[in-house]
Amino acid sequence: MMPQLQAVAPAPVTDALGRPLRDLRISVMETCNYRCPYCMPEGTVDEMALGAKQRLEFSDIAQIAQAFVANGVRKIRLTGGEPLLRRNLPELIGLLKRIDGLEDLALTTNGSLLAAQAHALRQAGLDRITVSVDALDETLFRHMSGGRGSLSQVLEGIAAAERAGFGPIKINCVVQRGLNESQILPLFEFFKNRGHVMRFIEYMDVGSCNGWRSDEVVPVSEILACLQSRYELTPMAPAAPGEVAARYAVSGGGEVGFIASVSAPFCGDCNRARLSVDGKLFTCLFASAGFDLKPYLRSAERLSTEIGALWRHRTDRYSEIRHAADARKKIEMFFIGG
């Protein structure tokens, strides 16, 4: 059982570059039922799967989350891998919802299993949901899921999430040169008309197994120009400090966001920590190693002190120094939560 949860609303701990700790991503499942070529290409990752034994228990995740909240975290996002492959996920959501001081609990999913789970996730207290959809063309969608996904299944999942009370739903699309530029306008129009919000993401050099090449990145400036050829877009002020998406209001209603992590890095405001499925803290998406928090699980106070100390020493700013960074092996994104 988790120890008694206390009311905590402390000022956030700040890192060596003055950035507060505000946001935590938790990978609850390192494996996935898709093999998106930009994340986990077919044939490259099965041997990396951890297996159930090394995954943190829900009570441990909740204890670690509580220690992060004690250090300033206000938002938690559950992700993976594919988080909806983790059995009994609503149980974890229920535990996290009980943490005083946590203001927002969200989840990112590929949507393939959402139709059956949306209601239970909402009932358990999940606040928000993001679904990844890279194409509206069924054949292209399937290709971009590594030959495994079904667009109609994902759209059913989104409809079930709407019925369960989620909304507006964010829809993530990674745009990769030569693959899905043709889908930018159709995706934007389809989801805007249903009251949802597209987030277009530059293809990033996360991990090592995707064979990233800079000429496959479609810069946000190009995606923006594509939408502006049809719509009037007005920049919006950030909703929260450290927000990674540049948001625009769409004339006639709705909004759209762009995540330019390659062409316009935002390390200066990065307030995000990541917890891997096996209990390691990563202070950057591009880190090559994490700090094992498991040894401190027996003492809530020690756990909180260690997390604070690790964050205070943080100097990561990979995206800003990308070209000068060494060619070290980076951790895969699905392992520490996208």
Residue in this structure with the two tokens 């938690």, named with its chain if needed? 76
Q: Does 212 bind ligand SF4 (CB under 6 A)?
A: no
| Least gap, CB of 171 to ligand SAM (angstroms) | 9
Query: 91, exposed or middle or buried, with CB in 10 Å at 0-12, 13-18, 19+?
Result: middle
| Cis? peptide before 295, omega within 30° of 0 | no
Write out the residues near ligand SAM by the rule CB under 6 A: 32, 38-39, 79-80, 82, 108-110, 132, 172, 174, 201, 203-204, 206, 210, 333-334, 338
Query: What does the alpha-carbon distance between residue 49 and residue 209 come to, in Å, rounded to a whole number?
Result: 14
From the CB of 204, what's the least distance to ligand SAM, in Å?
Answer: 4
**CB neighbours of residue 233 within 10 Å:** 17
- Return the range that interacts with ligand SF4 (CB under 6 A); candidates 50-58, 91-99, 186-194, 284-292: 284-292
With CB under 6 A as the contact rule, the residue among 21, 24, 26, 32 that binds ligand SF4 is 32
Residues 141, 200, 334, 335: which binds ligand SF4 (CB under 6 A)? 334
> Within 13 Å of residue 94, how many CA atoms lie on the same side as its CB?
9
28 binds ligand SF4 (CB under 6 A): no
Beta carbon nearer to ligand SAM, 28 or 67: 28
State how beta strands 128-132 and 170-175 pair. Answer: parallel
Selection from ligand SF4, ligand SAM, none that 317 binds (CB < 5 to 8 A by kind) is: ligand SF4
Q: How far is CA 264 from CA 85, 221, 258, in A?
A: 33, 10, 11
Asked if 284 interacts with ligand SF4 (CB under 6 A), we say: yes
Task: Find, among 201, 203, 173, 208, the residue nearest to 187 by Cα.
Answer: 173
Residues 6+ apart with CB under 8 A from 91: 58, 124
Q: How far is the CB of 28 from ligand SAM (least distance, A)?
A: 10
Site size toward ligand SF4 (CB under 6 A) is: 23
Residues that bind ligand SF4 (CB under 6 A): 32, 34-36, 39-40, 80-82, 110, 132, 266-267, 270, 272, 284-286, 316-319, 334
